[in-house]
Structure 1
Amino acid sequence: MSLAQRRILLGVSGGIAAYKSCELVRRLRDLDAEVRVVMTEGATRFVSPTTFQALSGQPVRVSLWDAQAEAAMGHIELARWAERILVAPASADLLARLAHGLADDLLSTLCLASAAPLYLAPAMNQQMWAHPAVQANIATLHRHGARFLGPAAGEQACGDVGSGRMLEPHELRDALAASFGEPLLAGRRVLVSAGPTYEDIDPVRFIGNRSSGKMGFAVAEAAAQAGAEVTLVAGPVGLATPAGVARRIDVRSAAQMHAAVLAAAAQADIYIGAAAVGDYRPQEVSAQKLKKRDGSELVLHLAENPDILASLSAQTAHPFLVGFAAETHDVASYAQGKLRHKGLDMIAANQVGGGLGFESADNALTLYWADGAAELPRTSKAELARQLVARVAERYRTARG
Structure 2
Amino acid sequence: MSLKGKRVLLGVTASIAAYKSAFLIRLLVKAGAEVQVVMTTSAFDFITPLTLATLSKRPVLSKFQKDETGTWNNHVDLGLWADLMLVAPLSANTLSKFAHGSCDNLLTAVYLSARCPVMLAPAMDLDMYQHPAVQNSLAKMKAFGHIVLDAETGELASGLSGQGRMMEPEHILQAVSDYFSKSKDFAGKKVLITMGPTQEAIDPVRFISNHSSGKMGMAIVKAFLARGAEVYAVSGPTKLTFPKEVNTTQVKSAQEMFEACQTIHAQMDICVFAAAVADYKPAEVAPQKIKKSSSKLELTLTKNVDIALTLGKAKSAHQIHVGFALETENESRFAKQKLTKKNFDLIVLNSLRDEGAGFQIDTNKVSIIHASGLSSESELLPKSQIAELILDEIKNVPVWI
TM-score if structure 1 supplies the norm length?
0.67
- Give the equivalent residue in structure 1 for 2:57: 77
Q: Tell me the secondary structure at the aligned position of residue 261 of structure 1.
A: helix
Q: Matched residues in 2 for 1:192 and 1:369: separation? A: 18
Post-superposition offset of 1:181 = 4.3
Say whether 1:49 aligns with 2:29.
Answer: no
Distance 1:288 1:182, change over 3 A: closer
User: Which residue type is aligned with residue 187 of structure 1?
Assistant: G
Question: Which deviations, in whole Å up to 9, do the C-alpha atoms of 1:98-141 show, x marking residues without a partner?
Answer: xxxx98328777678x7x73459996879xxxxxxxxxx98xx9
- Give the equivalent residue in structure 2 for 1:340: 340
- Give the equivalent residue in structure 2 for 1:282: 282
- Give the equivalent residue in structure 2 for 1:331: 331
- Give the equivalent residue in structure 2 for 1:312: 311
Equivalent pair of 1:346/1:367 in contact (CA under 8 Å) = yes
Distance 1:382 1:272, change over 3 A: same
- Give the equivalent residue in structure 1 for 2:72: 104
Q: Matched residues in 2 for 1:231 and 1:334: separation? A: 28
After superposition, the CA RMSD in angstroms is 4.7
Post-superposition offset of 1:377 = 1.9
Question: Which deviations, in whole Å up to 9, do the C-alpha atoms of 1:248-298 show, x marking residues without a partner?
Answer: 11011111111111112121100011111110001111121111224x311
User: Which residue type is aligned with residue 73 of structure 2?
Assistant: D
Distance 1:271 1:26, change over 3 A: farther
Say whether 1:229 aligns with 2:234.
Answer: no
- Structure 2: runs of 5 or more not aligned: 30-34, 65-69, 88-96, 102-111, 120-135, 151-171
Post-superposition offset of 1:316 = 5.6
Alignment of 1:63-74 (within 5 A): 74=54
Q: Matched residues in 1 for 2:347 and 2:369: separation? A: 5
Q: Matched residues in 1 for 2:48 and 2:342: separation? A: 56
Equivalent pair of 2:220/2:388 in contact (CA under 8 Å) = yes
Q: Matched residues in 2 for 1:180 and 1:23: separation? A: 27
Q: Matched residues in 1 for 2:395 and 2:197: separation? A: 25
Equivalent pair of 1:197/1:236 in contact (CA under 8 Å) = yes
Distance 1:234 1:123, change over 3 A: farther
Say whether 1:357 aligns with 2:383.
Answer: no
Distance 1:237 1:60, change over 3 A: farther
| Percent of residue pairs identical | 30
User: Which residue type is aligned with residue 349 of structure 1?
Assistant: L
Q: Tell me the secondary structure at the aligned position of residue 348 of structure 2.
A: strand
Question: Which deviations, in whole Å up to 9, do the C-alpha atoms of 1:169-210 show, x marking residues without a partner?
Answer: 149x76763213472212111111111111111122111101
Q: Matched residues in 2 for 1:338 and 1:26: separation? A: 51
- Give the equivalent residue in structure 1 for 2:392: 390
Alignment of 1:1-400 (within 5 A): 9-12=8-11, 38-39=37-38, 44=41, 48-49=42-43, 53=46, 59=47, 61=49, 74=54, 77-78=57-58, 104-105=72-73, 117-119=83-85, 147-148=116-117, 165=144, 167=146, 169-170=148-149, 177-181=178-182, 183-242=184-243, 245-294=245-294, 296-315=295-314, 317=316, 319-353=319-353, 354-371=355-372, 372-395=374-397, 398-400=398-400
Q: Matched residues in 1 for 2:246 and 2:19: separation? A: 32
- Give the equivalent residue in structure 2 for 1:132: none
Who wins on radius of gyration, i.e. which is larger?
2
- Give the equivalent residue in structure 1 for 2:104: none
Equivalent pair of 2:118/2:147 in contact (CA under 8 Å) = no
Post-superposition offset of 1:376 = 2.1
Q: Tell me the secondary structure at the aligned position of residue 232 of structure 1.
A: strand
Q: Matched residues in 1 for 2:11 and 2:328: separation? A: 42
Q: Tell me the secondary structure at the aligned position of residue 399 of structure 1.
A: coil
Distance 1:212 1:381, change over 3 A: same
Question: Which deviations, in whole Å up to 9, do the C-alpha atoms of 1:302-357 show, x marking residues without a partner?
Answer: 01010111111111627311000011121111110100111111111011242211
- Structure 1: runs of 5 or more not aligned: 54-58, 62-67, 82-93, 95-101, 127-136, 151-156
Equivalent pair of 1:194/1:276 in contact (CA under 8 Å) = yes
Post-superposition offset of 1:218 = 0.3
Q: Matched residues in 2 for 1:22 and 1:385: separation? A: 35
Q: Tell me the secondary structure at the aligned position of residue 271 of structure 1.
A: strand
User: Which residue type is aligned with residue 167 of structure 1?
Assistant: H
TM-score if structure 2 supplies the norm length?
0.67
User: Which residue type is aligned with residue 105 of structure 1?
Assistant: N
Q: Matched residues in 2 for 1:208 and 1:170: separation? A: 39
Distance 1:368 1:24, change over 3 A: farther
Equivalent pair of 1:75/1:106 in contact (CA under 8 Å) = no
Q: Matched residues in 1 for 2:314 and 2:226: separation? A: 29
